[in-house]
Amino acid sequence: MKEKLEAIVGKTLESLREAHTPDALNEIRVNVLGKKGDLKNLMKAMKDVAPEDRPRVGQLVNEARDTISEKLDEARQKIELDQMNLRMKQETIDVTLPAKKAEIGHRHPNTIALEEMERIFVGMGYEVVEGPEVEYDEYNFTKLNIPANHPAKDEQDTFYITKDIVLRTQTSPVQARRMEQGNLPIRMISPGRVFRADEVDATHSPSFHQVEGLVIDKNITFSDLKGTLEEFAKEIFGPDTKTKFRPHHFPFTEPSAEMDVSCFKCGGKGCRFCKGEGWIEILGCGMVHPHVLEMCGIDPEQYTGFAFGVGLERIALLKYEIDDMRLLYENDARFLKQF
């Protein structure tokens, strides 16, 4: 019996030396100490031991079990330590390696164009005012002299939230909001997102951006409008840029005009870029309609003003000679990186 016990302990200690993983240890534990393990099997032979020797043999078995348990614990601790050391070695960070370069984001062409416009107008003393994108029909239309039955309210163009609330179709409602506040004179621009139920193509998108401008003061005339917008055109497209004002119609201005700039590619001779015209249409503008002033609480006998509205994408596309508006919204880094 004693020899058998010694053999079991010896064999176990030997296999412990070979075991390098927690799984291997567990297997050894089960094989020796488990229900069907070597020690249990040996105990079955107890009945063949003479009764007077049994306490002594029992003690030997206990000693053998204690030794094995102790060695198993030691082996487990050693394996854990080894694994920890290995991990420490594998996971060390080499602080002398060059760092991964952090990719810095890029300004979007729309943002560049907007910041350029803001720079120009803030330089002329304008304030930048923002307004809500979800707007009352009253501000988007009525207060801008676009009454209930006006074709500009066509449901095909406008996203209606309710009968009285729309996604603004233009930034012009911010004019009305600012005028209502009073605090004259006013010199403001208002950039922002606008919405129209348009199909997507190279020049249309259901969501795009405008920059609205408004000046209200005593003795403001059409020459102020022309001078200001001419200056703007020269700043943004170059000092040789010429401007041309064509009569147009907007409900909230009278008279109204559209401003063209001489093609900055060919200088006005006509080329592929300006489709042979020599001129490129840039914005809508006009003298604020007296009725609009009145509806917004300003006395048209004392005050006059001009307003204009520019498509921001239009400026960005022209400035960077991009021929498809969709490129601005696809967020393809290869495209955006170029600006």
Contact string (CB under 6 A) for ligand DAH, positions 231-260, x = contact: -------------------x--x-------
**What single-letter DSSP state applies at residue 48?**
G
Strands (E) located in 109-206 = 127-128, 134-136, 165-167, 186-195
In this chain, which of 284, 314, 322, 328 binds ligand DAH, going by CB under 6 A?
A: 284
In this complex, which beta carbon is closest to ligand DAH, that of residue 39 or of residue 189?
A: 189
* Angle, alpha carbons 121-123-127 (nearest 5°): 55
CB 264 within 8 A of CB 241: yes
Query: Least separation, in Å, of the C-beta of 284 and ligand DAH?
Result: 3
| By the rule CB under 6 A, 309 interacts with ligand DAH | yes
Site residues for ligand DAH, window 20-49 (CB under 6 A)?
none
Tokens 């209930």 sit on residue = 148
In this complex, which beta carbon is closest to ligand DAH, that of residue 268 or of residue 284?
A: 284
In whole angstroms, what is the distance from residue 321 CA to residue 280 CA? Answer: 13
CB 338 within 8 A of CB 108: no
Residue closest to ligand DAH, measured at CB: 309
How far, CA to CA in Å, does 55 sit from each of 37, 38, 52, 58? 21, 19, 7, 5
In this chain, which of 126, 264, 279, 308 binds ligand DAH, going by CB under 6 A?
A: 308
Site residues for ligand DAH, window 145-204 (CB under 6 A)?
170, 172
**Interacting stretch for ligand DAH, rule CB under 6 A, among 6-14, 96-104, 112-120, 282-290?**
282-290
Q: Name the nearest CA neighbour of 130 among 75, 234, 210.
A: 210
In this chain, which of 39, 166, 188, 307 binds ligand DAH, going by CB under 6 A?
A: 307
**Interacting stretch for ligand DAH, rule CB under 6 A, among 76-84, 85-93, 279-287, 293-301?**
279-287
CA atoms within 13 A on the CB side of 317: 22
In this chain, which of 38, 135, 137, 212 binds ligand DAH, going by CB under 6 A?
A: 212
The residue ranges that bind ligand DAH (CB under 6 A) are: 170, 172, 212, 250, 253, 284-286, 307-309
